[in-house]
Structure 1
């Protein structure tokens, strides 16, 4: 009996020690202890730093990908681990961190002589999940390489590198390896998410050293398919009352339903009428005003402009708004600019046309993230090494080489991985009309017929259509391109319930 108690005590003690080791496995050097501009205690642990990628080929080496990891405020040991990716291509995931669903919000106003003030975000997605914000691909945000060849990338290379990042990240944070894992993102991350998910699934099949507990993915207002997305604007503009019945009938007749690539001069002329009708609107949310750069002179002549006419009339008469009124980024409306697969970046387009990026004011985030004290606190290398942080970079060359994402969605969902596709229904950049069309085109049986969903039990928050294969499409009423920014309470609601496997 004495031997039994001895071995029982020894085994119990060993388990306790192993548990203690696992829960403290995260690298202490990556722990974020304070953040300039925020007073108080963090509601959970934060970590940040770099994962350096290596590989057999020289081109795969020397890529330093920056991440910021927020542990769940609820049960980090068992709550899902979620990877968040912003789009662009070329835009930092700190967009999601500071303006959408991160643990902090900026206080309005610009305090003179001091940093912006932060306060806790009551609708942070870290309320219910562990979340990794990743600057990807290399060259975006704080991510960098000393070899400029590493700034040439594309859909497939980005997915490959991000998968390697995840394997190395879980190597440093092994205590989270058994947690359910999800991949999420918005806008051009409609490309990043399914391509990365496919890499992760292939890694599981190939018996990767660390098997990620991948369960599914989520995409918001995501770029998906040049035909569906390219044909979405005209029916969206008509349905929203932005163009008349006469203009709509004429453009339908002239283009025969093909708007993404005009087949005739007549179609092109009628599409120009559509663009003229929607001039001056905030493309990222037609309900919101548009921030106009006060330094831009609307009388400047635009020579050989390559931007749609709706962006050629931005003037300096409107004063800057006190808070940001939407994203700095590039998405499918500029697909016609793609040449030989190379995707133009917003800063490049802005420089070539002398037009400021429309409807954007990210001065506060840029000021905060380039402060030396902030960079030091989050373990980002000095500006002299990685360059100045910008929300969207112009130093990468990005090739769209994966084609349509529809085959990716089919392949993943047929293998049993859960998918939630959501759309802010007032986004004109990647309109919900295109997303609704391609989700229906998968041909899955409808299990939950089109219906309203509610975030507070009273008010309609949007609409939902549920399909077989755990595939769901929802709209978010009154929201623009970045749903968690415009509708944070509603976003946290559907995010929480979907992660938990509950009906939205």
Structure 2
């Protein structure tokens, strides 16, 4: 009898161990993708993580296991910028597992080929649509689309805690947070939340080892003052104009309100206005202008979010560096994607392949994304958000993180 009890106790412990070490959810596994005829070189997963049940707040992810050694290779979270742009931009156009060949007809899907330079060659990649309202991420409570830098960091941290619970076999892997453009804010603020959570004993502990930022927003003054020297260094403005603007602005291009400085800065803007700001050697696909929007049609409560006391000239320089378009800046308001994207695409960006692929019903079903009838069309950059730029300069975030060894 005693022997039988010991056996039962052992079996119970074994079952508990198996349950608590359950691996990736099979319901999230992607078995095939229309347009790709080969075999995946590693496992792909996608789906939703609910971070607020009461609001029905859900963040969507696409996860690609490393092709080398998934159990040991780092887990890398990728975030695109905006704010308001889907991280599937990085998946489709930058370092995802596939290269996309445009469809030959209007009624066929793009053809997918394996990307020999994919980051998933050596890393476990999480592509996250964040904040809620971006890409396939959504909430049943529209108040969640009023958000900001710090709320985005808190929500993304909540996602990570739940994601690593869903994929416990990756909890011990080195973990890195990465991104570009306005993710220069997303990444260090999220990394700081992770460090804070680990110190507070939140479980699971996230094995954060570092973070990566490419072409990132960092600080309004330093970023703003770098634009003119950068344009000159790239040969986009003449030596004479650079000399004139430097003299007129006394080296302060960011918040100098003198008439002479404004005049010379206008000439700099004129020189670079028709360029593709993402790749100066490539033409603009959509041109560089945005449709005008009627500011009077916006609800007064939402207009409050963009109000600022900064002078017009300063706002132009502050938000020219923060947005992936050269936004029109109107008196008293900082425009958001909701105001900028009135039925137009992001200037210079040819997003036809991603837009067609991610809005195809068969693709959405395969990657476990909600139907268009439920959450709307996938857009490269959304017009749903009303976004507070409330984190300020990233210099202190970088200082604290690097001094802590990240």
TM-score computed with the length of structure 1 as normaliser: 0.69
- Secondary structure at 2:204 match in 1: coil
What's the CA shift for 1:245?
1.8
Alpha-carbon distance between aligned partners in 2 of 1:258 and 1:176, rounded to the nearest angstrom: 48
Structural RMSD (CA)? 3.2
- The count of corresponding residues between Structure 1 and Structure 2 is 376
Q: Which residue of 1 aligns with 2:358?
A: 369
1:215 to 209, 212, 221: 209
- Secondary structure at 2:95 match in 1: coil
Alignment of 1:391-406 (within 5 A): 391-406=380-395
Distance 1:332 1:288, change over 3 A: closer
Distance 1:389 1:108, change over 3 A: closer
Q: Which residue of 1 aligns with 2:27?
A: 29
Q: Which residue of 1 aligns with 2:299?
A: none
Alignment of 1:75-474 (within 5 A): 75-108=69-102, 110-292=104-286, 330-331=323-324, 334=327, 344-345=336-337, 348-351=339-342, 357-417=346-406
Alpha-carbon distance between aligned partners in 1 of 2:96 and 2:374, rounded to the nearest angstrom: 26
CA contact (8 A) 2:336 2:385 kept: no
Distance 1:16 1:78, change over 3 A: farther
Structure 1 residues 126-178: Cα deviation after superposition (integer angstroms, max 9, x where no partner): 00000100000000000001100010100000000000000000110111000
Distance 1:134 1:184, change over 3 A: same
CA contact (8 A) 1:372 1:382 kept: yes
Alignment of 1:44-59 (within 5 A): 44-54=42-52
What's the CA shift for 1:24?
5.9
What's the CA shift for 1:357?
3.0
CA contact (8 A) 2:329 2:335 kept: no
Alpha-carbon distance between aligned partners in 2 of 1:109 and 1:168, rounded to the nearest angstrom: 37
CA contact (8 A) 2:293 2:340 kept: no
Alpha-carbon distance between aligned partners in 1 of 2:140 and 2:341, rounded to the nearest angstrom: 26
Q: Which moved more, 1:174-183 or 1:263-272?
A: 263-272
CA contact (8 A) 2:291 2:344 kept: no
What's the CA shift for 1:40?
1.2
Structure 1 residues 224-264: Cα deviation after superposition (integer angstroms, max 9, x where no partner): 11011111121112112222222111111111122122321
Alpha-carbon distance between aligned partners in 2 of 1:112 and 1:95, rounded to the nearest angstrom: 21
What's the CA shift for 1:331?
3.7
Alpha-carbon distance between aligned partners in 1 of 2:291 and 2:33, rounded to the nearest angstrom: 44
Unaligned 5+ runs, structure 1: 1-6, 309-328, 418-504
CA contact (8 A) 1:91 1:391 kept: yes
Alpha-carbon distance between aligned partners in 2 of 1:408 and 1:28, rounded to the nearest angstrom: 37
Alpha-carbon distance between aligned partners in 1 of 2:292 and 2:47, rounded to the nearest angstrom: 42
What's the CA shift for 1:110?
3.4
Distance 1:18 1:106, change over 3 A: farther
CA contact (8 A) 1:343 1:398 kept: no
Distance 1:198 1:303, change over 3 A: closer
